[in-house]
Amino acid sequence: MRILQTLKSSACAMAIICASASLAFAANEINILTWEGYADQSFVKPFEDASGCKVNATYVGSNDDFAPKLIAGGGVYDLISPSIDSTTTLIEAAFLQPVDTSKLAEYNNLYEQFRTNAAFNHEGEVYGIPFAWGAIAFMYLTDKFETPPTSLADLWDEKYAGKISLWDDKSALYVAARLIGAKDIYNLTDEEMAATKAKLIEQKPLIRKYWATAGELVDLYASGEVWISNTWAGYQSGLLKEKGINVTEFLPKEKAEGWIDSFLIVKDSPNLECTYKFLNMLIAEEGQCGVANVNGYSVANPVAAKKCMTPEQFKALHQDDLAYLDELVLWKNLGADIERYTNTWNAVKAQ
């Protein structure tokens, strides 16, 4: 529990910083800590023009970035958008405050199984507002593979040495754990963890680079340095296709992870009026089709999506088929075990 205790102590310090910093905040500005594409100008600029609220975004490359940036940033942020595996830890660390869902016109149109997920609720209060979801799929340069890859084992194939990349994130452990046949990748035994670590160390000489951001992976493919990797399904492949680079996404026979991202309000945010306006936009048509069109992700409000998507896009994004999530291994909160996973991944990189 050392990480959670540290976060709680840091949250107490942050509350003091917030109190002193809030006076300096512009009343009509909100500051968000989020993923690439979640504050794209295509839907944020119209929101700013209509609401009079300015949106300032800082981007992360991993869910492990949220807590350190909250600690370092003090009272800087109003909203954050971590994935389903990270929300509980941040809530329990007292970084966040409950959301008044009566202020969100579209809240009850969000998928019920998302709204009621324990990751977004705590002690009878709602904290997370589901926004988007999808898979950590795999991707390859189409013209480099005569036989399309179907297994995670292809990322360990020596004939692709120097052309492989993995996300620089503890979820790399999940990839290797599935390959070794672990029964529960979010609750690895000590023996499974050791085997997972060994598998990643075995792969390391084949890795061109561990990618940290969407843009970095796109550049690695565009330059021909990487032929196969994991990916934020729909996003980087779309950016590459805009560059005329033909890539193919696939779900391996060992499955892929699934994720759900939500927006949460940072405790003592001084800009609640604009924050709620922004949340309303995000889960309405503007934000839902905004992120679907920019990132290629599925969204949390099927009612809004049906109004602004073509039937083909609605179907392609599985908006009418949540059973698609059952094909994925949905991320789970690691609780106190996060330290063991994080330390293991850092040990792999240190080899």
Overall average pLDDT of the 296-314 stretch: 97
Beta strands in the chain (DSSP E): 29-34, 54-59, 79-80, 96-97, 121-122, 125-126, 129-141, 164-167, 207-211, 228-232, 247-250, 257-266, 298-299, 329-330
The number of residues making up the chain comes to 351
Q: How far apart are CA 107 and CA 54, in angstroms?
A: 23
Instruction: Summarize pLDDT for 74-124 with one digit per residue, the tens.
Output: 568 999 999 999 999 999 999 999 999 999 999 999 999 999 999 999 999
User: How many Å apart are CA 261 and CA 35, to the nearest integer?
Assistant: 10
CATH topology of domain 134-257+334-350: D-Maltodextrin-Binding Protein; domain 2 (3.40.190)
Please list, residue by residue across 232-254, b when 16 or more beta carbons sit within 10 angstroms of its beta carbon and e when fewer do.
bbbbbbbbbeeeebebebbbbeb
The domain locations on the chain are 2-133+260-329, 134-257+334-350
Domain 2-133+260-329, CATH class in plain words: alpha beta
- Is this prediction's pTM over 0.75? yes
CA distance 229 to 151: 12
CB 138 within 8 Å of CB 228: yes
Residue 99 tokens read as 């959301």
pLDDT (tens digit per residue) in 127-178: 999 999 999 999 999 999 999 999 999 999 999 999 999 999 999 999 999 9
Asked if the domains 2-133+260-329 and 134-257+334-350 are classified in one and the same CATH topology, the answer is yes
